[in-house]
A and B are shown apart, each in its own frame.
Chain A
Amino acid sequence: MCIIRASVTAVPQLLVSTVLLGGIYALIAVGLTLIFGIMRVVNFAHGEFLMLGMYLAFWAFTLLALDPYVLLFVSIPLFFGAGLLTYTLVMKGVIHASHNVQIFTTVGLSIALQNVALVLWTGDFRFVRPWYYSVVVRLGGTAFNLSQIAAFVVSVGFTVALFAFMKWSYTGRVMRATAQDRDAASLMGIDTDRVYGLTWAIGIVCVGVAGVLLAPLYPVYPTAGLQFVLLAYVVVVLGGLGDMVGALLGSLIVAAVEVVGSYVFGTAWKEVLYFLLFIAILLIRPAGLFGQRGTETLGV
C-alpha cells in the first residue's frame, strides 16, 4: 500500500528523470550506432572517449577555470581531431579485416586508453563542481539539477542535429550510401575509407561531448566510461544495431528502467534490471525492438 501511494505522487518526478537521463544516453548510443551502422564495427573503446571527455572537462575546469558548457565548443573540434587520429593510426588498418580482428583492435584501444589515463591522472575519483552544481530547479512537484537539464538540452540538440545531417546533407547521403552498398558507392567515385574516417570521427565527437556534459554530474576516473557504455550497448541492441531512431527510443526505455527500477528496488538493482531487459529483448526480438528491418536497414 505504502509503495503504491508513494509511487503515484512520484510519477511526474520519475517521468522527468527518465526523459533527462534518456536524452544523455541517446547521445552516447547514437555515436555507437552510427559507427556500427556505417562501418559495421562495434566500438568497444566508445566508453574511453567518454572518459576522455570527462577528464577534458575536469582539467579545463580545474586548471583554466573553463566551464564545461563553454568547453563544449572547443571539445567538438578536439574530439573530431582525436577521432581522425585514432582512425588513421588504429582503425584504418583493420577496416577491411574480419570482425574478430576489429573486436580485438577496439578492445585493445579501450584498454590502452584506460591505462594511459591511469598513468597520467591516477585512479583517483575527481569531481567537477561548477557554481550551478547544487542548483535545484523545482517545477510542479518535480525537482531536478540544473546541470542535468543543461546536459539534456545540449544532448538532444546534438542528436537532432546529427539526424538532420544524416538525413538531409549531401555528406549524410554519401555516408548512408556507403553503408548500404560499399562497392556501388566506390563506383560512384566515393572514397569509402574517407567516409569511414569521417563516421568514426563524428561518433567520437558525440561520445566525447557526452563525456563533457556528464562531468559535472558523475565522478571522473579512468574506467568511468564503462558504466555508461555498457548501457549504451543495451540501448543500441534494444533499438536495433545501426538504427538511429531506435537508439533514441532505446535510450528512453533504458533510462525508464533505471529510474523506475532504482526507485522501486533501490539503486543497487538498476544494472541487473536493464541487463535482464536486454536478455529478454534478445530472446524475443534479436533484431532489436524497433529494428523491424533488422540490422540491414542502415537507412539512418
Chain B
Amino acid sequence: MLRAEGLNVAYGDFQVLWDASIRVGEGEIVCLLGPNGAGKSTLMNTLSGLLKPRTGRVEFRGKRIDRLPAHRIVAEGMSHVLERRRLFPYLTVRENLVLGAHHPGARRHREESLVHIEAIFPFLRERRQQLAHTLSGGEQQMVAIARGLMARPRLLMIDEPFLGLAPRVVEEIVAVIRRIHADGVTIIFIEQNVELALRLADRGYVLESGRTILEGSSPELLQSAEVKRIFLGGRAG
C-alpha cells in the first residue's frame, strides 16, 4: 500500500533522515519506534507531503506522491494526525471535524462520516460547540483522530497518539485505534514506549539517528537485542 525508499530529508543544511525506507501493506498496523529526535516525525511528515525529500521516493497505492503537495495527498486516501494533536484551537469541535472532510471526495460523505465518528467517539455529541482548545488532552487527541477520519482515509497515520495521557485514556485510544483498524483502515503510528507500541502493532520499524535500522514483527522486535540496546540501554547500563 505504502512504499517509501531511500528518503533523505533535511531542514536547510541539517540532514535528519538518511536513506530511510519503510513499507506498509494493506490492513496492517505498523509502529515507528525510536528515541527522541530519531526522525520519526520527520519521516511521517515526509510521507504526508509536509516535507519534501531531497532524494528518494514515496509510492502510495501504486502512485508516486513525493512531489505532490500535502493537500493533494489527503485526497489520495492518506490522513495524518500531527504530533501534539494540532487542532484548530479557536474553532469548535464541530468546525474542526467538518474541516477534516474538506477534500471533495470526503465532503460528499460529510454527514454520514459525522454520524460514523460520533458512534466511535460518543462524547463528541455533547462537545460539538466547544472550542477545541478548552478540551482536555485526551479529548483533544480523540478529536484529532476523529478529524483525521473525516477525510475517509485508507491509511491513517498518527504521530504519538498517547503522548502525555493518563493510562486509562491510553487504553481508550488503543481501543479506538483497534476499532478503526477493524473497519478496514491501515494504520501507522509513532510511539516511544516499546511495550505499548508492540502490543498494538503487528509490525514495527526502529529509527535511530535518522536511519531505519531495524524492521520486524512485534514478537521479533520484543525479543531483539538491538531494541533492548536502544530502548533499555540507559537502564541496563
Contact = CB atoms under 8 A, between A and B. Distances in A.
Q: Note whether A and B form a binding pair.
A: yes
Interface of A: 170, 173-174, 176-177, 180-181, 183-192, 297-299
A174 B88 CA distance: 10
Given A187-B48, A188-B100, A188-B151, A297 B86 contact: no
Given A187-B79, A188-B74, A189-B74, A181 B90 contact: no
A185 B151 CA distance: 12
Contacts of B98: 170, 173
B91 A183 contact: no
Interface in B23-60: 48-50
Residue of B71, B100, B106 ringed by the most chain A CB atoms within 10 A: B71
A298 B71 contact: no
Interface string B48-90: 1110000000000000000001111011000110100011111
A186 B100 contact: no
A180 B99 CA distance: 13
A59 B70 CA distance: 45
Given A188-B151, A189-B74, A183 B50 contact: yes
A262 to B, nearest CB: 38
Contacts of B82: 183-184, 187
Most chain B CB inside 10 Å of its own CB: which residue of A184, A187, A192, A297: A187
A191 B86 CA distance: 18
B99 A174 contact: yes
B181 interface: no
A185 B95 CA distance: 12
The residue among A174, A176, A189, A191 with the most chain B CB atoms within 10 A of its own CB is A189
Nearest to A173: B95
Contacts of B89: 180-181
A189 B91 CA distance: 17
B107 to A, nearest CB: 9
Contacts of A181: 86-89
Contacts of A187: 48, 50, 70-71, 74, 79-80, 82
A180 B91 CA distance: 9
B88 A189 contact: no
A30 B59 CA distance: 44
Given A184-B86, A186-B50, A187-B80, A177 B91 contact: yes
A177 B90 CA distance: 8
B19 to A, nearest CB: 25
B71 A190 contact: yes
A176 B71 contact: no
A190 B86 contact: no
7 contacts: A173-B98, A176-B90, A183-B86, A186-B49, A187-B79, A188-B151, A190-B99
B151 A186 contact: no
A254 B151 CA distance: 46
B178 interface: no
Interface string B119-152: 0000000000000000000000000000100010
A298 B91 CA distance: 10
A298 to B, nearest CB: 7
Contact of A189 (B50, B86, B95, B102): B102
Contacts of B100: 188
A187 B70 CA distance: 6
A173 B151 contact: no
A297 B91 CA distance: 11
Nearest to A293: B90
B228 interface: no
A180 B88 CA distance: 6
Given A186-B69, A188-B151, 14 more contacts: A174-B102, A183-B50, A184-B87, A186-B50, A187-B70, A187-B71, A187-B79, A188-B74, A188-B100, A188-B102, A189-B75, A190-B102, A191-B71, A299-B90
